[in-house]
Amino acid sequence: MGVRLNRSRGGFARRRVVCWGLSSLAACASSASQAQSSVTLYGIIDTGVEYVTNVGPKNASVVRMPSLTGSIPSRWGFRGKEDLGGGLSTVFVLESGFAPAQGTLNQGGRLFGRQAYVGLSGRWGTLSVGRQYSQIFWALPGDTMGPNIYAAGDLDPYLAQPRVDNAIAYSFTSSGLTVGVTYSLGRDAVDDPVAGGCAGQSPTDWRACKAMSAMVKYEAATWGVATAIDRNYGGGGPGSPLPSSSQTDTRAVFDGYVKFGASTIGAGFLHRINHGEQTPTLFDATSNYWWIGGTYWPTPEIALDAQFGHISVNGGSSAGASLIAARASYWLSKRSSVYVTAGRVFNQRNGAFTIDGGVIPPASTPLPGANQTGAMVGIRHQF
């Protein structure tokens, strides 16, 4: 069901209600009597078949359907807004991530694991509370391939899913300039540690599993730049990457893009300092990660993307890697497209980065030092 309602400041001057299915008629009738609001049902279904080499200790090659992402992760959700008058509105988002191949929920099996928040929005900005993105997520306009299954972002999987529970966020946008801050009272009790997981809110340790981030971004017609800082506090206990609340994992990023006609070039640099346990590739104390990529539209129906990234780990651990990825998409309509994408990761001696992220099963982790290639053919539909 999709419902859109409008009310003038003086009362119900005009309404527009759209229903899909006989079972939604009662809900539509009920909604029409409420205050002025708009609720939008939206979603993306994106999946395909991928081929990956050098998986696991036997260096196996596999053919499968991925569970997390294709050219973009599959999701569905509700987005709503109610005009309270005087330039003030209530807003909310409930967004669920799922794996089309199995019909199962992602984000640890949560119904609305991608986003679940409510807030107030006005001329002064937006204040919201709930499960939300860290500000570093909004500070990546220079990442031209984004969450594509093969992309430079695979060298830091956290960047594709930096969400925090129990979060308070504020953002303000004016004339192309956006500033935002987010503070989490206990960032996560479900996600994998690589995705920022921790033990949630603690009644005894005020610092345990807290998270904070801040972002500044400016976007004009043909270019944009952004910078952000993101810090996670430990407290997950023995066996976690940050066992103690005195330990932190901090990322600082600067990136941007420029457009030339039908082309866009984007690049960025990220510095990470992790004071937790040092295990290969993902939790090393200090690393530097940079990327460059581009998108070109030779025709309105065809998009070509390519990207290169490199991560180096300080201290001579040889746990870094380089990655190259490409994608060609053909848009059948404004909502539907087909694509083919491929990539290869070049691991250093102690590096074990995966070409497709490898965070959510079935994992693709290669042996340390093994290179890995992936290719996928997929289809995407937006609604």
Reported as a single tens digit per residue, the pLDDT across 70-113 is: 999 999 999 999 999 999 999 999 999 999 999 999 998 999 99
Tell me: the pLDDT tens digits for 25-59? 344 444 444 558 899 999 999 999 999 999 989 99
In this structure, are residues 2 and 38 in contact, taking their beta carbons and an 8 Å threshold?
no
Report the candidate in 328, 358, 356, 355 with the shortest Cα–Cα distance to residue 341.
328
Q: Quote the pTM value.
A: 0.86
Domains of the chain: which residue ranges? 1-36, 37-382
Phi, psi dihedral angles at 167 (to 5 degrees): -105, 145
Residues pairing with 126 in the sheet: 121, 171
pLDDT band at 361 (very low <50, low <70, confident <90, very high): low
Tell me: the pLDDT tens digits for 263-296? 999 999 999 998 875 444 444 478 999 999 999 9
CATH of domain 37-382: 2.40.160.10
Checking if the pLDDT of 1 tops 90, the result is: no
Average pLDDT over residues 165-177: 97
Checking if the pLDDT of 309 tops 90, the result is: yes
Query: With left for phi above 0 and alpha for psi between -120 and 50, is residue 217 left, alpha or beta?
Result: beta
In this structure, are residues 114 and 77 in contact, taking their beta carbons and an 8 Å threshold?
yes
Q: What does each C-alpha distance from 347 to 146, 156, 276, 323, 366 come to in angstroms?
A: 21, 14, 23, 9, 9
